[in-house]
Structure formats: structure tokens, C-alpha cells
Structure 1
Amino acid sequence: MSFKYYLPFLFLFHSYSFADEIKNTQPLFFEKKPEIKPDLLITPEKKNLSIGISDMDVDPSECINLSILEKDWNSLDICLTRYKKTDNYDEILYQYGLGALYYNKGNRNEAIELYQSLLYKNPDLTYPRFDLAMMLFQDQRYKEAKSEFETVKNTLTPQMQTLVNQILLTINRSEKWNTALNFNYEKTDNVNQTSDLKIITIGNATFIRSEEDLPQKAEGFGYNINLSKDTNISKNNYINISTTIDGLYYWDNKDYNEQTYRLDIGYKNKNFKRTWGITPFIEQNELGNEHYNSNYGIIFDFNTKILDKYQISTNLSHIKRKYRDETLSEIYNGYTNSQVALMIYQPKLNFILYSGLDAMQDHLKDKSESSQSTGLRFGTIHTNNFLNIRADLRYANRNFEDENFWYNEKRKDKIYETTMTVWQNKIQWKNFTPKLNYKYQNIDSNLELYTRNNSSFFLTIDKTF
């Protein structure tokens, strides 16, 4: 059985698998959008054969082709060894089978390099070039994949050209700027996030707090506008650019209006299994329409699949803070380090569970405001045709380094936080999707002045394009 005869069957086998799956590659997001994606290529289940293909009485070349079609990789390994010793040995068939074996046993770089070498020597081979393009696409090497697809497209059947056009459209979209908009209605009874304690007793002294120092009401709206782009510069290497404007506008308490301008420019390395990146950033914050403080720093993030349904996601950051007001700068200037580690479990495409640890260290000029915190969180995301739900629970301890000015005692907080978002995909207008949100925070401090709790329902409207 000749190699050229069987290649079209192998080609159709792979391409139909991709066509069935391409519509389900919409990523899921939570918090700062770590991506959780299914494999782009879903291969059919291996058939249960009574005996291995390598045990059948077939020609070694046919044994190679049948092993690939049936996804019997152990038999393929044996068949390749036998085929290499035959008189009608064909180097092209051998390398094609060996590349398939490498790829499906997880040695994807070796498979890609082998197919690239094969095509360098035999540039007119159609189906190995298509398979190479698919490998590069799945490995997120979009620049190379695009070149291979454009080279091979005109040699394929009309049906396969349609498939390639779909993939090229996906690649082209990934190269464009992405815009995300978020608007939400805000109404709060504690915009200044302070305790409702009116009388403070410290030793023999009693202090009565003014109305301005007590929780204040505010009503308005929040907004977030983000423009971002990932550019594949070579192989698995990307340059990421992101700019964000984020703010809160209260029409009845404008002293607490907030606005943040942020720019991120960083490097990412992405493949089918893991993503990591280093991103410097700078941001400026305004409060009440006046410059409040400036932050700059660097973020390292890492996400990898460890098993078929499990991923680990980590995030490390270092942030330098500088306040404009002289009094505030003497207290709050300094830097913050933070660490987050999550274990993500995705048993189904539309269902995610995650849990993890987080820590933060504030190193400020005023040691009584410097602190260290550790937290534990759990969360879930579930989507279906009826209702989508995202929920997160967090508990943390925060311990301050020095004695508090008012109490001559070190402050210790216990923090309880809950957030929940629900939305319905069918309730939208021109891809603007309303989402109902609930947020709760309780800070239980050993110093009564710092004990407080906040809870609110609010509506957000999101759009990504």
C-alpha cells in the first residue's frame, strides 16, 4: 500500500475532527482573565480492537497507516521499527509516521522539527504540510501556522479550503486589537470605606467622630475600557500591549470620584500546554479630579496544564507606590509584593472549580500601616443555556508590623469576602450583556475603629469586540 494513497485519508481524519470542535473554542475567564481553553484538536476515541494492529498479518507500510488511523501508538512504534528493515523502505512514510508518534506522545517540538525537515527536502508534499500547519496552530505559533496554511491552501479540496479559511480568520482576529467595555451602576452607603463607630474610647480619653469621618453615601456609575493586543513575533514568543482607563463617577459625592490610567507592555511565551509572561506596568490614579498617586511595577504570571483536567495558575507582582500629598507620602509611600497560586479543575467545558492561596506584603514608610496578609479562596464558574454563574469566597488574615497610633497595639484583621455574578446569554443587545453582581466584605479587627462591613448589589454591562 503506497504512502501517497493513504495520506488523503489521514488528512481528512484530522481535519474533520477540528471542524467539529472549532465552534467550542470560546475561552472562559475569571478575575483577571486567566484563560482556560479546551484542546483545539479533539481526536476520536481509539477503537477497541481484539488484537493490536502490530499483531495483524499486514504489510508494514499498511501497519503504519492503520496504527495512525486507529490511534494505536504502541503498535505504530513497533510498525515503524519493522518498516525500517524492509526492502521497500520509504523515508517519507517513515518520517511522517514518526512525527505522528512524537506528536501524540507529547513530544510536539520534535514532531514539528521533523515535519519541517521533511518539507524542506520535499516541499511539494501537501498533507504533511497541512498537518504541520495544524500542529503550529495548536501550539499557538500563529505566525508560522499562517504561512504554512497560505502555502498549502490552494492545493486542497474546496471543502478543506473552507476549513483553512476558518482557521486563517481565527489567526487574523488574534492579531487585531481587542476592546473590552464594562459599565456598572453604583450605589453605596460606605463610599469612604470606614467604620460606623461614632465614639472612640482610648484609655481615659473619649473621641467623637465628625459626620465627615463616618460612612458616606454615594450614587453613580463605574466604567472600565481596555484595549489590548498580543503580537506573535516568532515561534511561541509574543509581545503584549494593554492600556486601561478605569473609574468611578458619583454625581452626588464627587469628592470620591476615582480615575485610573494604566499601561502594560510585556512579553509572553505561549504554547498548547502553558503560558508565562513578564509585564512591566505604570499607572496613575486620580481622586476627586486631582492627582492622587502613581504606581509602577512588574508582574510575572504562569499557567500550565498538569493533567487532562487540572491546571495551575500563579501570579507574582511587585508594585512601587508614590503619593502626591506630602502627609500621605510620609505614611503610604513604599512597595507591595503579592503572590497568588490557584489549582484549577475543569471536568467539563462549561464547569470550573478552583481553590488557592494568596499573600501580600505592604512595606510602607509608616510601619504601623505596613502589613502582611495571607488568604485562602475558593471559586467556581458554571455556564449553560439557562444561567451563567461565577462565585468566589475568600478568607484572609492581615497583621500589621507596628503599634497603631491610636491604640498602642498592633492591628490584626480577619477578612471575609464574597463575590457573585449571574447572567443570561440570551439577554443582550448587540453583544452588550447585563450581569447582576453581589459583593460582600467584612473586616473583623481587634481594634474596633477598623471593624466594618460592606455589601452591595450592582448591575454591570459588558462588551468585548
Structure 2
Amino acid sequence: MKKHLLLLLFPATALALPKLDIKPAEPTLPSPQAVQISPNLAKSEKLTLSEELRANPELTRQMINRAIDSQQFELLPELLRIYEQTPQPDKVLIDYAKGIILSQQGELDQAIRLYRGIIAQYPNFQPVRLRLAQFLFADQQNEAALDQFRKLQAEPLPPEIANRVDQYLAALIARSSWHFNFGLTYVRENNVNNASKARYIYLGNVPFEKNSESLPQKANGLSYHFNLARSFNLLGSHYLHVENQFSGKSYWDNHAFDDQQNRTSLGYQFQNAQSRLALLPFYEMRWYGNHRYNRGYGLRVEAEHWLSPRWQVSLAGEVGQLKYRAGNTALNGTNGLVSATLLHAFNAKSYLYGGVDFLRDLTQDRRLASKRYSGRLGWSQEWWWGISSRMQVSYGKRKFDQKHALFNRLRQDRELDVSLTLWHRNLHFWGITPKLTYSYRRVNSNLPDLYGYDRKRFYVSFERSF
């Protein structure tokens, strides 16, 4: 009798629900340059500045060219300052050197304007055209870069330069193609329904025994994802961006908790060497227990900017409408997300990041509406002997808008998540690197008999991008 009464008192929306799907602002590490610009093969000793340069404009001009050829760009500002004071300096050489200085300072847009001006006057000046093409490539102006590299390819070039142009063209084709990412993970769940292990719920002093479906359940299965994306260069650094993200979990011994999600986005993106801004309207669907669970639409805004070569800030905002299938319509409503992440790269092998997130879930039944505040801290490190690791810790607080239907008090949860991933950089099969992950989640609730739980996972994942 207690079990039947419990089912009436605790509807599905009050018990096990799929975990909230939160997409925070993700940091993006600087990828290695697709084509390395190697220094001139001729080795030169470090240049020295002297008063002779001021009295000898031709020598100063030669020293500027030697500094450019040997990639000793740090000498250019002083050499250029001296050269500009000499009688009748070469204006083209000045702009050529200024463009390199600007590019080193991250001012690629100004460097590109200078070089376009030189090419307009001297269309056969191939060293300038090559650097212009490289600057356009670095500034994510793919179509413009492709045009310049095609023009260079049509010219008789030294073998080393011709090979470099071919490498850039191949990199541009790859950058403008579809990008795919997929992963597969075996998962063994000891609490697939995120349920409290307390067997009884007390209303006052009266105990009600939970049925077996309301206690933690085990499951074995696969977690998987398949994502594809492409950016179509419209003009300069402006793109049309399209992507589809699909992820899910399927359990062969407990299909009631199978969970799949799909989101399709199509929108505008601006991207250059330092920044990225995307406005992405989206449509999404979710299936739970082999039935359609909800569908929704909204707008996501993403922004990234490198403050310096070591510091990056990432921001994300999202607002959407969700509609649930019959039986869960109390969850219909609006949700919003604001997220910020700051990343610091110590070097090419180590980085640290931290972030804060705010999630607003405004449902039709205000007793199910909530606010969630959380913070994240992560660290990635490449160790000796080919070992790499990534660790993240997050802590959040979730507070509901109105009192619980049965307990007559506001539900408040404290959520702790810890994960550690290890892999060996030299261990891979067909481009896939296996990774070992341990994760732990604990939810402390002021209604612990219903919503407090902990969960541990240890799994092996396989992922590849191409």
C-alpha cells in the first residue's frame, strides 16, 4: 500500500529527471600553425647598431633586409627609426618593414592594409605578396588568402617557396572543409537515474517506502557523440557557420534511461587571429527512454578573445524555449545561460582555466523553476614519458523558486563534480587515442531523501577529429 501511495504522491517530474544540459563557454587553445614559416637558410650573426648606420643609408637599408631575411624582427623598430631619418628613404621598404612590425604586435588588419597598398603599386613584388597571403591566412580571411596564394602559385618561384605555398593551399582547403568529431565510450553506471539511496521518505513522522524504480539503478552501455561543422567564408573575416551536435547514451540492460540529444545551428561568425564572435540560432531535440522528451529553439552567442599570447577570455550566452511531451508539460518554459571562462597558457604543454556559469530555468510550474550558480577550475598538463592529464573541479548551487509541493520548503542543492582524464600521447590506433577518465559527482540537497546522491564513474573513451 505504501508503494502505491508513493507513486501517487511523487509524480515523474518530482523524481528522476535527465541531468541538466549545460554548455558553458569553452576555452580554445591556440592550435599549432598549419604551416610553419621557417627562417632563411642563411645563418647570420646578431646584428649590431652603430652610428655608422645614421651616416650610411645604403648600409641601413641592407641591415633592414638582413633583419627581415634572418627573422630578427626585434631589430626592425630601431633600424626603421634610423632609416626614416636618412635622405630619400625607400617608402616601399619602410611599409614592408612596418607591416612585419605590426604583425608581430598582433595588428594584422593594419599590416594587411599596408601590403595591399604595396601590391597595388608593384604587383610583381612577390616577397610582399607572400607575406600578405600569410597575414591573410593568420587572420582567418580564407578566400582572400587563397586568391593570393593562387597568384603566387602561377609564378616561377624558388622550390622552397613553391613548396611552402603548396602547404598553405592544402591547409586552406582543409580549413574550409567539413570538420568531423566522433567519440565512443563504454559506461558502467551504478546510479543511472541520479536517485537518492534512502529507502524511505518521511512526511512528518510518517515513513513512505520507495519502490524499486525510485532507488539507484545500474546500467551498462555506450556513450557516444558525433559532431560536424563547417564555416563558409563570405567576405574577409566574416563567415556563415553551420554545425550539428549529436550525443547520447544507450544501455543494453536498462533502455528506460537511454538519452539522446541533437542540436543544429546556423548563423553568423566573425573570426580573425585574436577574436571570434558567433551568433547561432539553433533547433534541438531530446529523446529519453526511447521517447521524444523535449524540443526547443533559441539563440546562442559565443565570443573569444586573446588578451595576450598567454591569456584568453571566452564568453557564452544562450536563451531558448523548451516544449516537453505530454506528461511533462509542467517543465515547459524558457531557459537562459550566461558563462565566462578565463584561460592562462603557461607554455605549449600546460594551461589553467577557470570559469563561472549562471543557468536560469523558468518553467511553467514555478515549483520546478530554478537558478543555478557554479564555478569551474581546470588544469591540463603534458608530463614526461608521453603522459598527459586533464583535471576539472566544479561546484554549483541550485535554488528553486517556490516551495516543494510536499515538503513545504524551498529545495536547495549543492553540486560537486570532479573529473580526471589520463592518456598517452604516443598510444593511438588509426588516429584514435584511448583516454582513461574517472569522474565523481555528489549532490547535497536539503531534501536528501529525494534529491541527494553521489555517483562514481571510471571509463575508457575513444575519440577522433578530422
User: TM-score range, shorter-chain basis?
Assistant: 0.7 to 0.9
- Amino acid in the other structure paired with 1:308: P
Asked if 1:388 is matched to 2:381, the reply is: no
Note the C-alpha offset of 1:222: 1.5
- Amino acid in the other structure paired with 1:294: R
1:91 alignment partner in structure 2: 91
1:282 is paired with a residue whose SS is strand
Aligned CA distance change for structure 1 residues 231 and 350 (closer, same or farther; 3 Å)? farther
- CA shift digits 1:76-96 (9 cap, x unpaired): 44235314xx24x43322332
1:149 alignment partner in structure 2: 149
Higher relative contact order (CA 8 A, sep 6+): 2
Name whichever of 54-63 and 229-238 sits farther off.
54-63
1:368 alignment partner in structure 2: 367
In structure 1, how many angstroms separate the alpha carbons of the residues matched to 2:79 and 2:301?
Answer: 41
- CA shift digits 1:362-396 (9 cap, x unpaired): 11112121111211211011235521211100011
Name whichever of 224-233 and 66-75 sits farther off.
66-75
Aligned CA distance change for structure 1 residues 237 and 81 (closer, same or farther; 3 Å)? same
1:295 is paired with a residue whose SS is strand
- CA shift digits 1:184-230 (9 cap, x unpaired): 11111211111111111122432211111111111111111112112
1:171 alignment partner in structure 2: 172
In structure 2, how many angstroms separate the alpha carbons of the residues matched to 1:376 and 1:48?
Answer: 51
The 8 Å contact of residues 140 and 271 in structure 1, kept in 2 or not, is answered as yes
Note the C-alpha offset of 1:59: 2.8
2:162 is paired with a residue whose SS is helix
In structure 2, how many angstroms separate the alpha carbons of the residues matched to 1:117 and 1:180?
Answer: 41
2:407 alignment partner in structure 1: 407
2:77 alignment partner in structure 1: 74
- CA shift digits 1:41-92 (9 cap, x unpaired): 7898xx9979646773453354245244342243144235314xx24x4332
1:289 alignment partner in structure 2: 290
1:3 alignment partner in structure 2: none
Aligned CA distance change for structure 1 residues 101 and 80 (closer, same or farther; 3 Å)? farther
1:8-407 mapped onto 2 (5 Å cutoff): 34-37=27-30, 40=33, 52=49, 56-57=53-54, 59-67=56-64, 68-69=67-68, 70-71=72-73, 72-83=75-86, 86-87=87-88, 89-153=89-153, 154-325=155-326, 327-329=327-329, 331-384=330-383, 386-407=386-407
- Amino acid in the other structure paired with 1:148: Q
1:63 is paired with a residue whose SS is helix
Asked if 1:443 is matched to 2:443, the reply is: yes
In structure 2, how many angstroms separate the alpha carbons of the residues matched to 1:234 and 1:381?
Answer: 36
Note the C-alpha offset of 1:129: 0.6
Aligned CA distance change for structure 1 residues 121 and 51 (closer, same or farther; 3 Å)? closer
In structure 1, how many angstroms separate the alpha carbons of the residues matched to 2:410 and 2:380?
Answer: 38
2:366 is paired with a residue whose SS is coil
In structure 2, how many angstroms separate the alpha carbons of the residues matched to 1:188 and 1:98?
Answer: 60
Q: TM-score, normalised by structure 2?
A: 0.86
- Amino acid in the other structure paired with 2:135: M
In structure 2, how many angstroms separate the alpha carbons of the residues matched to 1:168 and 1:54?
Answer: 44
Note the C-alpha offset of 1:418: 0.7
In structure 2, how many angstroms separate the alpha carbons of the residues matched to 1:80 and 1:140?
Answer: 33
- Amino acid in the other structure paired with 1:78: R
Note the C-alpha offset of 1:314: 1.3
RMSD across aligned C-alpha pairs, in angstroms? Answer: 2.4
Note the C-alpha offset of 1:105: 3.8
Overall identity of the aligned pairs, in %: 25
In structure 2, how many angstroms separate the alpha carbons of the residues matched to 1:42 and 1:344?
Answer: 27
- CA shift digits 1:389-422 (9 cap, x unpaired): 1110001111111111121001111111011211
The 8 Å contact of residues 77 and 101 in structure 1, kept in 2 or not, is answered as no
- Amino acid in the other structure paired with 2:333: G
2:463 alignment partner in structure 1: 462
- CA shift digits 1:111-135 (9 cap, x unpaired): 2112112111211111111111111
The 8 Å contact of residues 359 and 372 in structure 1, kept in 2 or not, is answered as yes
The 8 Å contact of residues 417 and 442 in structure 1, kept in 2 or not, is answered as yes
The 8 Å contact of residues 436 and 459 in structure 2, kept in 1 or not, is answered as yes
1:311 is paired with a residue whose SS is strand
2:265 is paired with a residue whose SS is strand
In structure 2, how many angstroms separate the alpha carbons of the residues matched to 1:414 and 1:254?
Answer: 29
Note the C-alpha offset of 1:267: 1.8
In structure 2, how many angstroms separate the alpha carbons of the residues matched to 1:216 and 1:375?
Answer: 27
Show structure 2 runs of 5+ residues with no match: 1-22
1:13 alignment partner in structure 2: none
The 8 Å contact of residues 286 and 292 in structure 1, kept in 2 or not, is answered as yes
2:117 is paired with a residue whose SS is helix
The 8 Å contact of residues 331 and 365 in structure 2, kept in 1 or not, is answered as yes
- Amino acid in the other structure paired with 1:82: Q
In structure 1, how many angstroms separate the alpha carbons of the residues matched to 2:84 and 2:461?
Answer: 61
In structure 1, how many angstroms separate the alpha carbons of the residues matched to 2:183 and 2:102?
Answer: 44
The 8 Å contact of residues 368 and 400 in structure 2, kept in 1 or not, is answered as yes
Note the C-alpha offset of 1:32: 7.6
1:152 is paired with a residue whose SS is helix
In structure 2, how many angstroms separate the alpha carbons of the residues matched to 1:297 and 1:48?
Answer: 59
1:249 is paired with a residue whose SS is strand
- Amino acid in the other structure paired with 1:212: E
Name whichever of 135-144 and 72-81 sits farther off.
72-81
In structure 2, how many angstroms separate the alpha carbons of the residues matched to 1:97 and 1:235?
Answer: 23
The 8 Å contact of residues 362 and 372 in structure 1, kept in 2 or not, is answered as yes
Note the C-alpha offset of 1:302: 1.2
Show structure 1 runs of 5+ residues with no match: 1-29
